[in-house]
A and B are shown apart, each in its own frame.
Chain A
């Protein structure tokens, strides 16, 4: 029997590019918490530069992500409705509670890590207004070292809960076979780690005080997270029996999915080739970092936006064209713009160099 669709409606996407921005920014935030905590608890010389970058990233991305999430709600002012009843069957409802906990713990963790870089009011009499604000944010001259490890553990638990809920929230949707795979949460988490390490490496280069040792350890992190992501991807392609066959079906028929597959393969191959080099020149390291970010963002785009063009009942794929406005390109640019502004603000506040670091 040969079936041709003659007349079927086209269905618009429901989760907008804001969702990609939320998953991406949240990934940067929770993965930088992981990197900071693992570094804090590992033996060897403490890399203050790495911790400083992690703190800046978890703070800024942790602020931008919930804003993007609110924008993805079609009724953002009704967000309080999440808290007005008990909905234990909905992963999204759990997320509404886990998210503010993460925002709080990650902000405290970042603040404790960054406090030492905020100027002390008494030490410097000739402060400009930025330094005066920064010194106020220090909230007194006390040692935060004791608290850091406890907060680090709490924040890491919270970060794991965010990685779990964002992955499961998507995975739980049986009606979208592309999403309904246990490989999705680990793919999301490992690509988030890859993107966070790439962003940290770019920040190390971008912000004043570049450290080669930090860049070297970040390269290790990128190698490890890329390896994990690639393993998960191979595992999904070989062992998944719902989502992977659906992707194969789309590959057969849809030019846009063929293009996406070519892009994924080329990006993976390029990254693998560059990471296989024993010594990476600084310029190649920068390309590796940017490609890592690009891969993780593009992966989220394919999973969250392009997957919505896969019909649940009909043949072929639905149409999607990126709009220019807030529901499209402007939303994407705006989110990144806000993040850039925040990272600039944070870097401005923490330009003070503590004496302890100088004497080391």
Chain B
């Protein structure tokens, strides 16, 4: 065997060993709370500081959302919340006019933390475990959180929950751990219709800023009167969905430990 062929095979071997190690590295990243949850320091970046000078926001173009829940699944795989708890979901509504002749339309409403400019969840926190990074992302230091649930109540969007595994407050972080290493959030990455766009609101040339400028007459936020200044914007949303929905509730069900369904009365 000549020298160059031996070098080539040697390099191939190291590449394949490296490829085989990728899943191990990913598993380590998931198991290591410091890399998964902002608020703790890692060696490469200061997760609690954020990216100075930027202001992250998200635009969700409802005209492009088909309600496939790929974002819900991607987020769940990325962030591993307990079964039945979600950092993002796509809520689905049937909308019809008063006259019965017209056929109903469906609205798919992706929901996540709004990373508000004036977040009501932060001042109520009695320990300072939840805070806003310099790039506007609202995060929880789950090693400091006492699990009092006060922030869960204070959020007007039901975006927070007490994680049943960690017993601390949990929420969408815009996948800050991915953004900080130059990746897109899992939900944005996976969206089949490219309905979710994340970017720097401070940069007028960013895709999100241009999208906001181009659709300025059709931009809405949830609960605009709540004085929270959300940084998740919706394109193509009816004003009927801005505030609390006045409509008919679904039949909700609960599962018992044995998997039996308990129906609610309405």
Q: Hey, which bits of chain A sit against chain B, CB under 8 A? A: 1-12, 14-15, 72-75, 78-79, 81-82, 84-85, 87, 89-93, 95-96, 169, 172-176, 253-256, 308, 311-319, 321
Expressed in whole angstroms, the minimum distance between the Cβ of B257 and any Cβ of chain A is 10
Pick the contact of A14: B67, B86, B104, B149 (CB < 8 A): B149
* Most chain B beta-carbon contacts within 10 A, residue among A82, A85, A253, A316: A316
List 13 A-B pairs, Cβ < 8 Å. A1-B96, A7-B92, A8-B92, A10-B252, A12-B161, A14-B152, A14-B161, A15-B149, A82-B127, A92-B126, A92-B148, A175-B155, A312-B155
Pick the contact of A90: B94, B126, B153, B157 (CB < 8 A): B126
Which B residues from 235 to 249 make CB contacts under 8 A with A? Answer: 238, 240-241, 244-249
Pick the contact of B250: A1, A7, A74, A84 (CB < 8 A): A7
10 closest Cβ pairs, A-B complex: A316-B249, A74-B147, A3-B247, A14-B149, A89-B123, A74-B167, A7-B92, A175-B156, A93-B126, A92-B126
Once the chains bind, are A321 and B254 in contact (CB under 8 Å)?
yes
Once the chains bind, are B146 and A173 in contact (CB under 8 Å)?
no
Q: Which residues on the A side are within 8 Å of B94 (C-beta)?
A: 3-4, 6
Expressed in whole angstroms, the minimum distance between the Cβ of B105 and any Cβ of chain A is 10
Pick the contact of B153: A8, A10, A15 (CB < 8 A): A15
Once the chains bind, are B153 and A255 in contact (CB under 8 Å)?
no
Docked pose: A309 CA to B249 CA in angstroms: 13
Q: Which residues on the B side are within 8 Å of A72 (C-beta)?
A: 148-149
Expressed in whole angstroms, the minimum distance between the Cβ of B116 and any Cβ of chain A is 12
Q: B158 in the interface, Cβ–Cβ < 8 Å? A: yes
Q: B41 in the interface, Cβ–Cβ < 8 Å? A: no
Residue of A nearest to B263 (CB): A319
Q: A14-B149, A169-B150 are in contact. List 6 more A-B contacts (CB 8 A).
A: A3-B246, A8-B250, A9-B86, A12-B161, A72-B149, A74-B168
Q: Hey, which bits of chain B sit against chain A, CB under 8 A? A: 67, 86, 89-98, 104, 106, 111, 120, 123-129, 144-150, 152-158, 161-162, 167-168, 222-223, 226, 238, 240-241, 244-250, 252-254, 262, 264-266
Once the chains bind, are B89 and A9 in contact (CB under 8 Å)?
yes
Docked pose: A47 CA to B112 CA in angstroms: 60
Expressed in whole angstroms, the minimum distance between the Cβ of A165 and any Cβ of chain B is 11
Pick the contact of B252: A4, A6, A319 (CB < 8 A): A319
Expressed in whole angstroms, the minimum distance between the Cβ of A319 and any Cβ of chain B is 5
Docked pose: A93 CA to B148 CA in angstroms: 11
Q: Which residues on the A side are within 8 Å of B240 (C-beta)?
A: 1, 3
Once the chains bind, are A6 and B254 in contact (CB under 8 Å)?
no
Docked pose: A93 CA to B155 CA in angstroms: 18
Q: Which residues on the B side are within 8 Å of A85 (C-beta)?
A: 127-128
Once the chains bind, are A315 and B146 in contact (CB under 8 Å)?
no
Expressed in whole angstroms, the minimum distance between the Cβ of B62 and any Cβ of chain A is 14
Q: Which residues on the B side are within 8 Å of A4 (C-beta)?
A: 93-96, 104, 247-248, 250
Given A9-B86, A92-B150, A174 and B226 contact (CB-CB distance below 8 Å): yes
Given A82-B127, A319-B254, A174 and B244 contact (CB-CB distance below 8 Å): no
Given A75-B145, A316-B266, A3 and B156 contact (CB-CB distance below 8 Å): no
Expressed in whole angstroms, the minimum distance between the Cβ of B236 and any Cβ of chain A is 15
Once the chains bind, are A75 and B147 in contact (CB under 8 Å)?
yes
